[in-house]
Each structure stands twice: as structure tokens, then as C-alpha cells.
């Protein structure tokens, strides 16, 4: 799949929703819908990339896939965890984040403190681990039907889980978040024509994120996730058509540094410091993460693939390679 800048722009919208939610849940009570949007987008981008690789080479290079994903996620995450250890965070809170099981640790009641948000990275990592194996095993002619069935089953399971398991499980677990991921995967293989109303999906998602009933203190929060899933699916379809406003330079730049922003914003916002100080430190840490950790690694990976590749050509590749998490940690 060729790079579609508007998908990066949509990732910027998603990270903005999440950051706003963490800053003030009273103002943006359903900003966590940005996470659902990330999941749908991740499923779409990764599946498109994997299917394109199969079409091009006849197989998926699992070693290359896992190496790229690990290099995109782990170095920046490691830096954050080391910083937390340096300021006195207990190992019991760091190990689940580095071990990529923070979502299940959170379900079990482990207080992850300023690493709580790494539950999302755990879900994404589990998806990265399993999904290329699934795509590689599926005959191309049956992909749409099988992945569509998987998406429907995942949606049904999430609905059933609301009445069967704890709210914490529904919100954090990989199996219940698979609904959003698989919807994105299905969109990647089916490529349905976007509905006309899809162009309103992003404004609708932003507007509804301000509605208190969908906040995390309401019983509607879990069922509201299905509205987020539907709007997220339409938003990804809409973005895949390349609308100009989602290719705005500011959005693309924000998307480029979105992974570092996701990792660092919660650390500072949840600290006992004034909000403006936290935001300034978040911006500084995000820029440092990009220039000192993420971008050098992306350049190194690009050189491994093509020793003669220039720095100029390596930088655009990072934009389409995030997600995730919020990242372009996905491509």
C-alpha cells in the first residue's frame, strides 16, 4: 500500500483526543475514543502492508516484520521506563510495561501509576505478534470472508463480555479490543466504498468526545465504544480517500512524533507539577525522543535495507511506519 498522508493526519487527530482526555476528563470525557480510532487505523495499515508484501513476494518475512516492530516500539519505551526507575518508580510498575503485559496487569489491579497508559502498547504488541501469522496463513481468495467473520465474532464477543466479565477486562484486554483492530483489518482487505456520511465521521467523533455520558464514570462508556468503533471505521475509510485537510502539515508533523508524545505526556500530566509545566516538559521530551531515539533508529533500519539511502529519503518513510501507538509504530 502506498503511503496515504491523510492516514497520518488521522493519527494526529487520535493522539490529540487522547492527550486532551488525560489533561481533563471533565472537558473531554470520551477522549479515550481516540484509542479506538488508533486500533482501527492500526489494523487497516498493518493489514494493507502485509497483504501488499504477500502480493509482491508471495510470503511475509516474519523476521523483518518483528524486527521493525520491536525497533519502533521498544527503544523509546525503554527510555521512558528507565526514566521512571531513575525517579524512584518501583520495578513492579515497570516490568509489566517492558514485558508488554501492562493491560492484563492493570486488569489484575496492579497500580502502574505513570505507566498506566502502556496498556495500549501491550495490546498493539500482541496484535503485531499474532496478526502476520494469521495473514500469512490465509489464502488470498478467502481473506475478505474470513477476516470479516473474525471481525464480526470479535464484535459479538466484546458485546457479550460487557455482561460476562469486569469492565476493566472489556476496556483493557487484547481479546475485547480485537474488535476495533479486526474492523480495521477487514476494511483493508474488503476496501468498501465509503458512505457519503463518512466525511462527517471525524467531526462527529470529536463532538461526541465532549458528551459526558460516554465518559469513564458512566455506565454507557463500554456500550459507547461501539459508537466509537463505527465512527472510527468510517473515519479510516474517509482518510484513505486522501482528504486535503487531513494532510495539513501541522497534523503530519504531530503524527510523526505521536509515539513519543503518547509515551511522555501521561508521565508528566500525572506528576505533581503544574499543568503548563507538564505540557512544556511533554513537548521537550517528545522532541528529544524523536530526534535522539526514534529517528536515528529509523535511519539505521533504512540503511540496513539500502546502504546508499539518504537521510532525506529515510525521514518520510518514518511517517508511514509508525499508530501507533499511536503510532506510526505500526508500519
CB atoms within 10 A of CB 117: 25
The verdict on residue 209 lying in a domain is yes
At 218, the pLDDT band (50, 70, 90 cuts) reads: low
pLDDT digits (tens, 9 = 90+) for 54-82: 999 999 999 999 999 999 999 999 999 99
Q: Of 8, 83, 77, which Cα lies nearest the Cα of 331?
A: 8
Query: Do residues 288 and 307 lie in contact, with contact meaning Cβ atoms separated by under 8 Å?
Result: no
The verdict on residue 328 lying in a domain is no
pLDDT digits (tens, 9 = 90+) for 291-329: 999 999 988 877 766 555 544 444 444 333 334 444 343
The verdict on residue 324 lying in a domain is no
The verdict on residue 280 lying in a domain is yes
The verdict on residue 230 lying in a domain is yes
At 222, the pLDDT band (50, 70, 90 cuts) reads: confident
> Which DSSP string do the residues of 136-204 spell out, in sequence order?
HHS-GGGHHHHHHHHHHHHHHHHHHHHHHS-HHHHHH-HHHHHHHHHHHHHHHHH-PPPPGGGGGHHHH
The verdict on residue 325 lying in a domain is no
The verdict on residue 327 lying in a domain is no
**3-class SS at 310?**
coil
Q: What is the mean pLDDT of residues 119-130?
A: 98
Query: Which one-letter DSSP state was computed for residue 280?
Result: H
1-15, 87-101, 134-148, 263-277: least confidently modelled range: 1-15
Higher pLDDT, 326 or 1: 1
**3-class SS at 304?**
helix
- Specify the pLDDT at position 215: 82
Distances (CA, A) of 90 to 75, 93, 103: 20, 6, 18
**Domain limits at 35?**
5-319
The verdict on residue 195 lying in a domain is yes
Q: Where are the alpha helices (DSSP H) in the chain?
A: 5-23, 33-57, 62-86, 91-98, 102-107, 119-137, 143-164, 167-172, 174-190, 201-208, 221-239, 249-256, 258-269, 275-288, 295-305, 311-319
Query: Do residues 84 and 115 lie in contact, with contact meaning Cβ atoms separated by under 8 Å?
Result: yes
| Number of domains making up the chain | 1
pTM: 0.90
Amino acid at each position: 500500500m502506498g503511503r496515504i498522508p491523510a492516514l497520518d493526519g488521522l493519527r494526529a487527530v487520535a493522539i490529540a483526543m487522547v492527550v486532551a482526555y488525560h489533561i481533563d476528563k471533565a472537558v473531554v470525557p470520551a477522549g479515550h475514543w481516540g484509542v479506538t480510532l488508533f486500533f482501527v487505523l492500526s489494523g487497516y495499515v498493518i493489514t494493507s502492508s502485509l497483504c501488499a508484501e504477500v502480493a509482491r513476494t508471495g510470503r511475509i518475512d516474519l523476521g523483518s516484520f518483528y524486527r521493525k516492530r520491536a525497533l519502533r516500539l521498544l527503544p523509546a519505551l525503554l527510555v521512558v521506563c528507565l526514566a521512571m526507575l531513575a525517579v524512584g518508580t518501583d520495578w513492579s510498575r515497570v516490568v509489566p510495561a517492558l514485558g508488554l503485559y501492562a493491560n492484563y496487569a492493570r486488569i489484575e489491579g496492579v497500580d502502574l501509576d505513570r505507566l498506566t497508559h502502556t496498556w495500549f502498547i501491550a495490546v498493539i504488541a500482541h496484535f503485531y505478534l499474532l496478526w502476520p501469522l494469521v495473514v500469512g496463513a490465509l489464502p488470498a481468495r478467502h481473506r475478505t470472508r474470513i477476516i470479516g467473520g473474525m471481525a464480526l465474532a470479535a464484535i459479538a464477543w466484546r458485546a457479550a463480555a460487557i455482561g460476562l466479565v469486569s469492565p476493566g477486562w472489556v476496556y483493557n484486554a487484547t481479546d475485547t479490543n480485537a474488535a476495533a483492530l479486526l474492523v480495521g483489518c477487514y476494511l483493508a482487505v474488503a476496501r468498501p466504498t465509503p458512505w457519503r456520511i463518512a466525511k462527517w465521521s471525524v467531526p462527529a467523533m470529536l463532538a461526541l468526545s465532549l458528551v459526558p455520558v460516554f465518559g469513564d464514570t458512566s455506565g454507557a462508556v463500554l456500550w459507547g465504544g461501539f459508537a466509537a468503533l463505527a465512527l472510527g471505521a468510517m473515519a479510516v475509510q474517509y482518510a484513505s480517500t486522501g482528504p486535503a485537510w487531513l494532510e495539513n502539515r501541522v497534523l503530519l508533523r504531530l503524527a510523526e512524533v505521536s509515539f513519543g508524545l503518547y509515551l511522555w505526556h501521561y508521565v508528566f500530566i500525572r506528576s505533581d507539577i503544574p499543568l503548563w509545566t507538564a505540557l512544556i516538559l511533554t513537548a521537550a521530551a517528545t522532541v528529544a525522543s524523536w530526534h535522539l531515539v526514534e529517528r536515528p533508529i529509523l535511519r539505521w533500519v533504512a540503511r540496513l535495507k539500502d546502504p546508499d539511502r539518504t537521510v532525506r529519503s529515510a525521514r518520510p518513510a518514518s511517517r508511514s511506519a509508525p499508530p501507533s501507538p499511536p503510532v506510526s509504530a505500526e508500519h
